[in-house]
Structure 1
Amino acid sequence: MRAITVRQPEPGQTDELGRPLRPGPEALVVDQQPTPIPGPGEVLVKTVAAGINRADLLQRQGLYPPPPDTTDVIGLEAAGIVEQVGPGVTEWQPSDEVVALLSGGGYAEYFVAPAGQLVAPPEGTDLVTAATLLEVAATVVSNMDLVQLSPGETFLVHGGAGGIGTFAIQYAKALGCRVATTAGTDDKRAFCRDLGADIALDYHGDWVAGLRHATDDHGADVILDIMGAKYLGPNIDVLAADGRLVIIGMQGGVKGELNIGRLLNKRGLVTATSLRFRDSAQKSAIAARVAESVWPLVENGTITPAPIERFAFEDAAAAHARLASGEVTGKLVLTF
């Protein structure tokens, strides 16, 4: 089968600052690999589309290696047609349409996944669109369940025009929350308001003061953060009493300074989670939760899938460059 692999730089190669050279988008190449064989409890799927996520860019650069015993082929979410089922699998049959929550392997013509990590796409949703839904929905829903986001609370998500943000805004609104977000341009902030955001702030400016003003100094009860270290201090500043900060990304670095006194005064909770490194039982439970609670919201139009930019499988390098540009609204997907 064809798969996207990462061409590694020559040993000792450095960038202009003398640091070890990290593979850029151009390092993504089409290669031939053996088609995987499904083991007990597993399913082989012929790929129709694979979603592209920030984590994929980090893995390409060697900064987010896959879990042990996981393929090094990139790709955390994909959709396709069941080709073959392994021993013991009874819930899926060849020709079934499925969406998969993966630890890796989506950037290939075929992938293998545990049967429980597959769900049928929402009714009326094509597989290309469905390929962009499960990872973001699983990330948001599992984390909002963890911190018990409740109706009437103020919810802040950073990067509202991205894949996580576009889903989180709509999901929190469906739960009955007041929703705030940050985005970098007027067009993106208008897009977030169209999705249901009550407050859309420019992250180039003083968004902490902006949120305090918009909430009469209440702040945010729950914050979903993709930035990490860069926003740790500001997030604590804007956290409401008994607030909960969930860190799911590292776009702004991995080491920050935490004012414990401020956190104590607010009785605040800070947690950081990763979906990728959960075991299959946990992922299967999360996938089932998404199918049960989110798919009906997609089917009735309460949640609209994010705008999609499509790239041919062979153009994975261009897709990575596009995502890295910061100009994307919505999701990118590779099509096969």
Structure 2
Amino acid sequence: MNDSMTAVYVTRFGGTDALEVRQVPVPDPGPGMVRIRVAAAGVNYADIMQRVGLYPDGPKPPFPAGFEVSGVIDAVGPEVSGWQPGMPVMAFCAGGYAQYTVTPARMCLPVPPGLPVEQAAAIPCQYFTAWHALFTLGRLSPGQRVLIHAAAGGLGSFLVQLARQAGAYAVGVCGSAEKCALAEELGCGATINYSQTPDFENLARKLTGGAGFDLVIESVGGERVEKSLRCL
């Protein structure tokens, strides 16, 4: 293996012209980390926000771009168990737009058999975010009710499916009839079309028989925050 690799860096905050292809040293995995030979990398809204300088507590340029990848483990550092070179993996990382990247082993997931690498690369960032929101922060449990905004989007799609798998009742808020249909197909028990019902809180509470929701996942911001609080 060569000592150098190709990687994409954000050289300044701005548009796509702020991205620069560089030759940099291949990183070595430290304790608890693995090195991945990248097959595909995902592009998230968070990547764009970080590139333009609006990502909270984000790094200052220059920095390597890319939050998520799929590929094959190439090397493991000390104190790593359960992972070996040659294993297919998808992972959350920093610096995924590169031929190789290193990341903590705990940020890795095995690639399910038959899942194309391009699809696998689109899972980690939003999946980890959805899991953390529902179960680490929200402590969602079976039988509870959860209201999910942007339920047909990338993050929302994972939120709906995970909530369904957990035995919760999910109601999705979407911006069109087509998106509402997709959210229901993914597992929402009911949906609200925000373009037709911008003051959604009354309908949302009605869908729970007036009881309200145990948890609201609100990722849009603005006036929806206060309205969402009234749904609890």
**Separation in 1 of the partners of 2:97 and 2:56?**
15
Q: CA RMSD in A?
A: 2.5
Answer yes or no: is the 8 Å Cα contact 2:50–2:58 preserved in 1.
no
**Separation in 2 of the partners of 1:106 and 1:7?**
16
Matched residue SS, 2:142: coil
Alignment of 1:166-177 (within 5 A): 166-177=157-168
**Separation in 2 of the partners of 1:191 and 1:68?**
35
Residue 153 of structure 1 is matched in structure 2 by 144
Answer yes or no: is the 8 Å Cα contact 2:70–2:89 preserved in 1.
yes
Deviation at 1:234, TM superposition (A): 0.6
Residue 4 of structure 1 is matched in structure 2 by 8
Q: CA 1:174 to 1:36, structure 2 compared with 1: closer, same or farther past 3 Å?
A: same
**Separation in 2 of the partners of 1:188 and 1:47?**
32
Answer yes or no: is the 8 Å Cα contact 1:80–1:127 preserved in 2.
yes
Q: CA 1:218 to 1:123, structure 2 compared with 1: closer, same or farther past 3 Å?
A: same
TM (norm. structure 1) is 0.60
- Identical amino acids, percent of aligned pairs: 36
- Which letter does structure 1 place at the counterpart of 2:170? V
In structure 2, the gaps of 5 or more residues are none
Answer yes or no: is the 8 Å Cα contact 2:134–2:159 preserved in 1.
no
Count of aligned positions: 225
TM (norm. structure 2) is 0.85
**Separation in 2 of the partners of 1:43 and 1:96?**
11
Alignment of 1:121-200 (within 5 A): 121-146=111-136, 147-200=138-191
- Which letter does structure 2 place at the counterpart of 1:173? R
In structure 1, the gaps of 5 or more residues are 9-21, 240-336
Deviation at 1:233, TM superposition (A): 0.8
Answer yes or no: is the 8 Å Cα contact 1:76–1:105 preserved in 2.
yes
Q: CA 1:184 to 1:83, structure 2 compared with 1: closer, same or farther past 3 Å?
A: same
Which structure has more relative contact order (CA 8 Å, sep 6+)? It is: 1
Answer yes or no: is the 8 Å Cα contact 1:66–1:72 preserved in 2.
no
Q: Which moved more, 1:178-187 or 1:135-144?
A: 135-144
Residue 35 of structure 1 is matched in structure 2 by 26
Matched residue SS, 2:102: strand
Q: CA 1:92 to 1:178, structure 2 compared with 1: closer, same or farther past 3 Å?
A: closer
- Which letter does structure 2 place at the counterpart of 1:50? A
Matched residue SS, 2:83: coil
**Separation in 1 of the partners of 2:209 and 2:193?**
18
Residue 237 of structure 1 is matched in structure 2 by 230
Residue 211 of structure 1 is matched in structure 2 by 204
Alignment of 1:1-336 (within 5 A): 1-8=5-12, 23-64=14-55, 72-89=63-80, 91-102=82-93, 104-146=94-136, 147-204=138-195, 205-239=198-232
**Separation in 2 of the partners of 1:41 and 1:198?**
41
